[in-house]
Amino acid sequence: MKKDRDQGLPPAAPSPFAAAMMPAGLPDIDRITDAVGLTRAQLAAAIGLPADAFHAINPGDAVATQARVLELVEIIGRIESWAGGAPSAMAWYLGQPIPAFGGRTAEAMVKAGDATAVWRYLDHIAVGGFA
């Protein structure tokens, strides 16, 4: 995802959702779930992790878990202003079929390990492209 941002595209405006990050840049799972209105198990499912992914570990201790959560935080943070807030952005992430992805949702793309494609799509939309 950083690769796309390094290609000269304007960065997204800072997001109120960014408050869901701890000072060290690690995701605060409880703040994230509160912001988007999901349980820990629902959040885990939305990023392709087992329901108990956040119960036994500190997200900062598991690199793969942390990476998935950060992908979600970046996507939701990027769209929350035009979606009408973090809960609406999460609803878009979970349920809006995206024609450019053959009708798959952002959730399906992230679960498949292709969050970068979602970022590229959002960059395309941000500069006036069509869905």
- ∠69-117-73 over CA atoms, to 5°? 20
pLDDT in tens, 2-19: 444 444 544 554 555 666
pLDDT band at 101 (very low <50, low <70, confident <90, very high): very high
Strand partners, 77: none
Predicted TM-score (pTM) of this structure: 0.76
pLDDT value for 116 = 93
**CA within 13 Å, CB half, 55:** 7
pLDDT in tens, 18-66: 666 666 667 888 888 888 889 999 999 999 988 888 875 554 557 778 8
79 pLDDT above the threshold of 80: yes
**What is the domain partition of the chain in residue ranges?**
2-126
Task: Say if residue 31 is exposed, middle or buried (CB neighbours under 10 Å; 0-12, 13-18, 19+).
Answer: middle
CA distances to 26, 41, 80, 87 from 36, rounded to whole Å, are: 17, 13, 10, 4
